[in-house]
Amino acid sequence: MKPINLKPPHRLGKLPLNTLAPNILTIIALCSGLTAIRFAMLGQFKFAVLAIATAAFFDMLDGRVARLLKGASKFGAELDSLSDFLSFGVAPAMVLYFWTLHDIGQSGNTGWLVVLAYSVCAALRLARFNTALDDDSKPVWTGSFFTGMPAPAAAGLSLLFLIINLELESAFFASSFLNAIWMLFIGGMMISRVPTYSFKRVRVKREYVGVVLLGVGLLVAGLLNQPWYTLAAMEIAYIVSIPFSIKAHDKLKRGDAQAKDMAEAAVASEAVPAEHVAGSESGGEAKPGTTPGILH
């Protein structure tokens, strides 16, 4: 009789660093996004914007680090999705509510509805993105585009007027109604079917490496010297890129459809000669009641 093993099973072993590193970056992004809400409650909107920008930076890093270290996991994907919702679906809306949306309606009720609408759109957008990851039937070129506006970009664009107002201090950009309409528009863009560029697969040709490095240097210099103007310019440039992404997506979609039609036509053309040969052979057989070679 075998002895009974009374030791509890080891459910969790030691996790390698390549698995923990992406999750650590995701936690930093999550904490940065939530801290933006605290800064907004204290009226420190510059720090609130910087906190959300920091969350976007670490959100950009965690996925790349996971792929680089081969530390991607289901747990990390779920954690990243939750972090994105809180940092880019809840935090920007709360920042705008404390800044200006609380002036809409009695006791800010209407402004709060705008906040809820934006957050729900962010949740729906992330849910659609997660379910689309399991779809392997899409062509390879679709990986260069997002369906709708991604949550980090939407978070930055929803704060566009706040960022401009940090430099100009204009009553126009601080208008509660203007920001409410703008936030609803950005929320609608998240759940729309509009294709937007995904810069994950961008490849730079060797002859343009110098130009790209020069542009990065100028961008960093702008962020250090004129951060609000530079951030606003980056967001406006992203908005300008959307018509080009739609055009590029439609062009690739038409090309893919034409390639499928040509493939189907080629298959059909290969089937026709076989049917023709079969018909010719059957047509050469002697009819019943006749003798081959004898005229009737």
Are 249 and 195 spatial neighbours (Cβ–Cβ below 8 Å)? yes
Q: Which residues of the chain have pLDDT under 70?
A: 1-18, 134-137, 271-296
> What is the structure's pLDDT at 65?
84
What does the radius of gyration of the chain's CA atoms come to, in whole angstroms? 29
Angle 91-99/160-168 helices, nearest 10 degrees?
Answer: 40
Query: What are the domain boundaries of the chain?
Result: 17-258
Q: What is the pLDDT of residue 36?
A: 96
Tokens of 84: 């994105």
Residue type at 248? A
Query: Between the CA of residue 45 and those of 58, 194, 227, what are the distances in Å?
Result: 20, 31, 14
pLDDT of residue 117: 96
- pLDDT for residue 203: 76
What phi, psi does 170 have (nearest 5°)? -105, 140
d(C-alpha 206, C-alpha 202), whole Å: 13
Q: What are phi and psi of 97, to 5 degrees?
A: -65, -45
Ramachandran assignment for 81, one of left (phi > 0), alpha (psi -120 to 50 degrees), beta (any other): alpha
Predicted TM-score of the model (pTM): 0.80
What does the chain come to in residues?
Answer: 296
State the Cα angle at 26 between 138 and 81, rounded to 5°: 40
Name the DSSP letter for residue 105.
Answer: S
Non-local CB neighbours of 101 within 8 Å, separated by 6+ positions: 108, 111, 112, 114, 115, 176, 179, 180, 183
Residue-level pLDDT at 106: 80
Beta bridge partners of 293: none
> What is the distance between the alpha carbons of residues 208 and 205, in angstroms, rounded to a whole number?
5
10: its two tokens: 């080891």
The per-residue pLDDT for range 27-56, each reduced to its tens digit, is 999 999 999 999 999 999 999 999 999 999
Q: What local confidence, expressed as pLDDT, does residue 291 receive?
A: 46
Residue with tokens 């930055």: 156
Q: Which CATH entry fits the domain spanning 17-258: 1.10.150.80, 3.40.50.720, 1.20.120.1760, 1.10.8.60?
A: 1.20.120.1760
Task: Look at residue 243 in the predicted model and tell me its pLDDT.
Answer: 93
Please state, in angstroms and rounded to a whole number, the distance separating the CA atoms of residues 76 and 132.
Answer: 17
pLDDT value of residue 296: 43
Q: What is the reported pLDDT for 273? A: 59
Yes or no: say if 93 and 158 are a contact pair by the CB < 8 Å rule.
yes
